[in-house]
Amino acid sequence: MIEVHLFGKLRRFGPHADKDRECVIQTSADATTSVGELLISLGIPLEEVSNVFLDGVYTRAAFEKPVAGVARIGLFPRDMCLLYA
Amino acid sequence: MSRILRVNMTDLSTKFEEVPEKYRLLGGRGLTSNIVFDEVPPDCHPLGPNNKVIFAPGLVTGTSAPSSGRLSVGGKSPLTGGIKEANAGGIASQKIARLGIKAIIVEGQAQDGKFYSLKVNKDGASLVSADDIVGKGMYEADEIIWRKHPNKPGVIGIGPAGEMRLANAGVSVNDSENGPGRYAGRGGLGAVMGSKGLKAIIVDDKGGPGVSVANPELFKQEAKKLADALLTHAVTSQALPNYGTAVLINILNEAGGLPTRNFSSGRFEGAAKVSGEMINELATKVRKGAGRVAHPCHPGCVIKCSNVFPKPDGSYHVSCVEYESDWAFGPNCGIDDLDAIAELVRISNDVGLDTIEAGVTVGVAMEAGIIPFGDGQAAINLLSEVGKGTPLGRIIGNGATFTGRAFGVTRIPAVKGQAMPAYDPRPIKGIGVTYATSTMGADHTSGYTIAPEILGVGGKADPFAVNKGELSRAFQATTAFVDASGYCLFIAFAILDIASGFEGMVNSVNAMYGTDWTGDDVVKIGQQIIKTERTFNERAGFTKEHDRVPEFMRLEKLPPHNVVFDVSDEELDAVYAF
């Protein structure tokens, strides 16, 4: 099971857009699937994502990484770009 | 020509002095720390007659340069026992600079046990009775002062905490709406003001000479380069104005570095409820009314990271709920109620407390079982004791270390007696190196390695790597220069990434003073400031053994990453190898 935590405007791709609680998609994927492929399959446009945390660690070039072993993905949108790449 | 205003509280006299040549190219922190070094005996009691409190605008404060209105307040800290520079926004610093005043040095102590206000305007300076505002909180004090002074002066003042000389008493500066929430909060310099019998400084710059710039055309060009960088960079043009610094709540929570329940976890289950997103939602969409984001703390700030947080009915509650205050009273106390957090910030602003120290202190009191974690109303009641001057309130008002000792708590997140800010150093090692080695005690602003460690600004550093001495040293040196310049530290987000912005920062100072400093000079000047501070601290009794994080952080693993602080002592000691 993989949890995808969505923040800011990316919440619209999750189960709700309430700001006062976590917006989390519960999903699963084949171990060879990349993070980017997973997000596309969930309908999240990669160009709207500024930065990615994998299991609590800020990760560059995360879209190319396989989801194998990843339990939590945190996604922040471009207009919350304190995570400037 | 700038002058120094010297105020003697013992004989209630004021005089203007020429600026010594050695101070000519110093400003802000660079100036306050050098004056403290030159004039304050390192072994003096911080609340005794030999300590001084110094107020200095930055090198470019008072000009049209963007986000340049910061004020440095310096002295020997009652909280740490070492040198202190606390930094604030608000409107007073620009007014001091535009009166042609490079620094205000306050020395001696009132002999009659009374409080005084220092009035400064184009005609000079004088001390007058503060009977009209003594004993009052800063909201009422500021209101009374503006009612009596139609030119809307800058006000630097202390609340009851400062009058009681409590070690967590901060120095309030009013903003453009006359709110008291711009604090030179850290280190207890409000208590130093209180010890001298100085309740407020009232600064009216109407008719003042303004500031002089050696090369106005170059200055305009370079200030624009900096402004362009600030208005281009994603952090300073989008994230901070939209969500305020509290945008970091969700980010640090995701990173597992958001100190929760007195630094016992790095994740808070209620983070979303107190996040920058939620503040934006309530202030601009749900409650509206007085609510506001993109609020500048001083005129000319283009970043505008402040906010006005409204009550449920939309009326004004407090300005502002920023990241550190939000975290200190929120996740750190297990409180997920923004209205309770806002009230705790309002109390701090009124009584005159640093919100970081106050929030960590409440967390330590919760750890001690005085009140339960997560109980917002109990926290409000507890913090309210400070203003009443009750025995419990005086314990709380003396900060986290004092309170921890009073109640036998061992998990006290502090270095050199000063509480840690909102980044747990166990999963973010570089900020821990800064906490440990800063001349100021635990202070994130001394060397904000979070920028590369978490935010990807100015390069990227692995937050878990332990070799952070060099990174912290570089950030501490550059920061010392920025603190001397009068620019807001938040320009660092942009100038670390945009070369023309860095040039604009350095060359705007050059244009003002006729210097030709380079980026390398900036680092050297910053290092010299830190060396001066370090030497003062050594003479005050500090050794390298004081440059350590508390023991529990080396023993207790922090979830969710389950790591301890494992930077070696040798790495910490190497920070000052320059």
Contact B10, B111 (CB under 8 A): yes
Mean predicted confidence (pLDDT) in B501-513 = 97
Q: What are the pLDDT digits (tens) for A24-72?
A: 999 999 999 999 999 999 999 999 998 899 999 988 889 999 999 999 9
Residue-level pLDDT at B1? 65
As a whole-number percent, the residues of chain B with pLDDT over 70 amount to: 98
Residue-level pLDDT at B167? 98
Contact B198, B381 (CB under 8 A): no
Residue-level pLDDT at B458? 63
Q: Which of A19, A79, A84 sits opposite B456 (nearest CB)?
A: A84
Distance from CA of A8 to the nearest CA of B (A): 7
Mean predicted confidence (pLDDT) in B356-372 = 98
Q: Token pair for residue B269?
A: 């289950």
Q: What are the pLDDT digits (tens) for B308-330?
A: 999 999 999 999 999 999 999 99
Directed axis angle between helix B499-513 and helix B519-539, to 10°? 70
* Tokens 């019998």 belong to residue: B197
For residue B75, pLDDT beyond 50: yes
Confidence bin at A85 (pLDDT 50/70/90): very low
Element housing B5 (H / E): strand B3-8
Residue-level pLDDT at B216? 97
**φ, ψ (nearest 5 deg) of residue B354:** -75, 125
Residue-level pLDDT at A84? 43
Which one of A54-63, B378-387, B515-524 scores highest in mean pLDDT?
Answer: B378-387
Q: CA–CA distance from B122 to each of B25, B97, B190, B368, B430 (Å)?
A: 23, 11, 26, 52, 46
Mean predicted confidence (pLDDT) in B182-204 = 98
Write the class of the CATH domain B248-423: mainly alpha
Set of chain B residues whose Cβ sits within 8 Å of the Cβ of A50: 234
* Tokens 């001083």 belong to residue: B298
Confidence bin at B419 (pLDDT 50/70/90): very high
Mean predicted confidence (pLDDT) in B512-537 = 95
For residue B85, pLDDT beyond 80: yes
Nearest residue on chain B to A84, alpha-carbon basis: B456
Please state the length of chain A.
85
Residue-level pLDDT at B493? 84
A56 and B233: CB-CB below 8 Å? no
Q: CA–CA distance from A18 to each of B11, B27, B137, B247, B307 (Å)?
A: 61, 46, 37, 16, 21
Rg, chain B, Cα only: 22
Residue-level pLDDT at B470? 83
Rounded CA-CA distance B46/B52 in Å is: 8
Element housing B349 (H / E): helix B338-351
Mean predicted confidence (pLDDT) in B90-101 = 98
Nearest residue on chain A to B464, alpha-carbon basis: A57
Rounded CA-CA distance B463/B255 in Å is: 10
* CATH code for the structural domain at B3-203: 3.60.9.10
Query: Measuring CA to CA, which residue among B434, B477, B437, B467 is closest to residue B568?
Result: B467
Mean predicted confidence (pLDDT) in B259-263 = 98
Q: What fold, for B213-243+425-578?
A: 1.10.599
- How many residue contacts between A and B have a Cβ separation below 8 Å? 78
For residue B36, pLDDT beyond 90: yes
Mean predicted confidence (pLDDT) in B532-538 = 97
Distance from CA of A11 to the nearest CA of B (A): 11
Residue B9: CB atoms within 10 A of its CB come to: 24
> Which string of DSSP letters, residue by residue, matches B113-132?
S--EEEEEETTEEEEEE-TT
Mean predicted confidence (pLDDT) in B50-69 = 98
> Hey, what domains does chain A have and what are their CATH numbers?
2-80 (3.10.20.30)
Rounded CA-CA distance B44/A28 in Å is: 64
Delimit the domains of chain B by residue range: 3-203, 213-243+425-578, 248-423
B133 CB burial (10 A radius; 0-12, 13-18, 19+): buried
Residue-level pLDDT at B450? 73
Mutation target among A3, A19, A51 for the B interface, most CBs of B within 10 A:
A19
